[in-house]
Amino acid sequence: MGPLPNAQSGGPPGLTPAHQQSGQDQQARAFNPYSHLDQYGQSTTGAASSFDRPRQPPALDHNLHTAPLPHVSNLHPHHLSSHAFFLSPSQREELARRNDAILTAPVPPEHGGPQLPEELHVYHSLVPLEAPGHGTALPATLVDPRVAPPTAPGASLHLSGMSGEPSRVFGYRTSSYKALCTLDGKAYVLRRIEGFRLLHDNAITVVERWRRIRHPSIVSVREAFTTRAFGDSSIVFVYDYHPLATTLYGEHMVPKPPQVDRRTGRLQTVSMQIQERTLWSYAVQLTNVLRNIHSHGLAARCIEPSKVLRTSKNRVRLNCCSIFDVVAFDPRANTAAVQSHQADDLLNLGKLLVSLACNSMGAVQNLPKSLESISRLYSADFKNVVLWLVGKPSPGKTADELGRMLGSHIADEVDSALNYADLLESGLSKELENARLVRLLCKFGFINERPEFDHDPRWSETGDRYVIKLFRDHVFHAVDDTGRPLVDLSHILSNLNKLDAGSEERVMLTSRDAQSCLVVSYREIKNCVEAAFQDLSRAR
């Protein structure tokens, strides 16, 4: 694929024409916040970008991670303190798995991977988010009637090979990819709507309005552009990537496989019923989203189980915002139309809660039966909120009013969020110390046992460096009374912390042959380390 030309002038106000792809993308239009940069992230106005182009993510090396520490009750008391220095194993594992997901590299076509464009606008390294042909196809009755049926992709080369059923939400075939951005090296999700022709240039400008909305429960929209890079005319919406995200559909509508009961050793079915506390949490988060979106004069139009991402325990974010506003664009839409979409949002939230409470997408087809089941399983309070949502629209039925109805449940959510913030802050403070110590260890690595430096083979063994060497032995090569190596992490951590803080406390350093013995303060050793490091880094 050839280089992407720079933005041209002549588009509608607020737009910059998209990059052309191999000369095919003549009619491409895009809202592009990066229009002042070329395809390598270099500024077209002359200033060089500070970002290097991350071509291939490095291979993952799990040896770089430490193994989880043994359970606290198995530890010697003086090893216990080392627990205080690290994130909890479960937190660490979760974060490591997310990082792994961000770094997943595409499988090349010669190894069975799909044929995808190498570069798309300012994105590269596309990795499909779904397996080929995967789709959560539902009966035609559940396909959203708001959108036109997909145009037959006659001229499509089916480069992606990923097309499955048309999305039951958007009506068009869609495919999603994780991709890396050449401008900032970050991962994003590209959602491609296949076989879509932009009939009104104005339609894509609405993406700019969505881009300005930043809300913790919305998957942020970055930009949208049209492209022919897949061999058809597609429109691509770019969203933030949330590694390992699932959807409410995947979590609560897809039956879970039976699991082995630890006590009996038998296979047991897994209950799908959602706790009421969790349902309230979803309801509160999505109500806040709607209040925010409606206050911007927009409507979500995609409150649907497969369009609500779950990014960690009970944390949800509304996905795919702005797509309907573009693909079902109505140039004559007025305030009344927006209000009608906003009323639909509340109705769809009610339907979503019914589907979740009954663990079935079909539950909304028979509301009386589903409400009966809800009143058996959940509180009257919950059922009343659902009834209000699925009931007739009225002027006072707004997202703000819903917020007032949820008052005490919003207070519960605030408490949980504060507890979680405390937990994360304590994890963060533990790791903060470690970053400090790693920098110190790097300095030791630079200095100790350094081969010939400054034409002096004994540089690292003499002067200030000798003190550092003795201190290194004291910290890492300590032995107990019987001469056995002392493998004690807390001994290392407390010594390094005192050194880093430059404590006035004194320590006795003895050479290996016990011939020399120095009593020095940590502050003096710190000065030696600084001096030796300055010596090394000074330009010669």
Ligand X SMILES: Nc1ncnc2c1ncn2[C@@H]1O[C@H](COP(=O)(O)OP(=O)(O)OP(=O)(O)O)[C@@H](O)[C@H]1O
- Helix (H) or strand (E) segment spanning residue 342: helix 335-358
174 binds ligand X (CB under 6 A): yes
Nearer to ligand X, 136 or 460 (CB): 136
Token pair listed for 93: 């594992």
Q: Is residue 404 a known part of a binding site?
A: no
In whole angstroms, give the CA distance from residue 538 to residue 430. Answer: 33
State which of residues 7, 143, 218, 245 lies at the interface with ligand X (CB under 6 A).
245
Task: Report whether 19 contacts 7 (CB < 8 A).
Answer: yes
State which of residues 189, 190, 300, 327 lies at the interface with ligand X (CB under 6 A).
189
Q: Which of residues 289-308 bind ligand X (CB under 6 A)?
A: 306
Task: Report whether 30 contacts 226 (CB < 8 A).
Answer: yes
176 binds ligand X (CB under 6 A): yes
Q: Is residue 240 a known part of a binding site?
A: yes
Chain-centroid distance of CA 474 in Å reads 43
Q: Is 112 exposed, middle or buried (0-12, 13-18, 19+ CB in 10 A)?
A: exposed
State which of residues 5, 57, 89, 250 lies at the interface with ligand X (CB under 6 A).
250
Nearer to ligand X, 165 or 208 (CB): 165
Nearer to ligand X, 245 or 406 (CB): 245
Sign of the dihedral defined by the CA atoms of residues 165, 169, 172, 174, in that order: negative
State which of residues 19, 29, 121, 168 lies at the interface with ligand X (CB under 6 A).
168
State which of residues 21, 39, 167, 287 lies at the interface with ligand X (CB under 6 A).
167
φ/ψ of 240, rounded to 5, equals: -60, 145
322 binds ligand X (CB under 6 A): no
288 binds ligand X (CB under 6 A): no
Nearer to ligand X, 240 or 488 (CB): 240
In whole angstroms, give the CA distance from residue 256 to residue 266. Answer: 16
Q: Is residue 211 a known part of a binding site?
A: no
Q: Is 403 exposed, middle or buried (0-12, 13-18, 19+ CB in 10 A)?
A: middle
Nearer to ligand X, 188 or 382 (CB): 188
Closest CA to 298 of 328, 321, 330: 321
246 binds ligand X (CB under 6 A): yes
227 binds ligand X (CB under 6 A): no
242 binds ligand X (CB under 6 A): yes
Binding segment for ligand X (CB under 6 A), chosen from 233-241, 397-405, 447-455, 460-468, is: 233-241
Q: CA angle, corner 284, sides to 279 and 286, nearest 5?
A: 95
Q: Which DSSP letter does residue 453 get?
A: B
Task: Report whether 87 contacts 427 (CB < 8 A).
Answer: yes
Applying CB under 6 A, which residues contact ligand X?
Answer: 129-130, 135-136, 167-170, 174, 176, 189, 219, 239-242, 245-247, 249-250, 306, 309, 319
Q: Which residues line the annotated binding site for ATP? A: 191, 240-247, 306-307
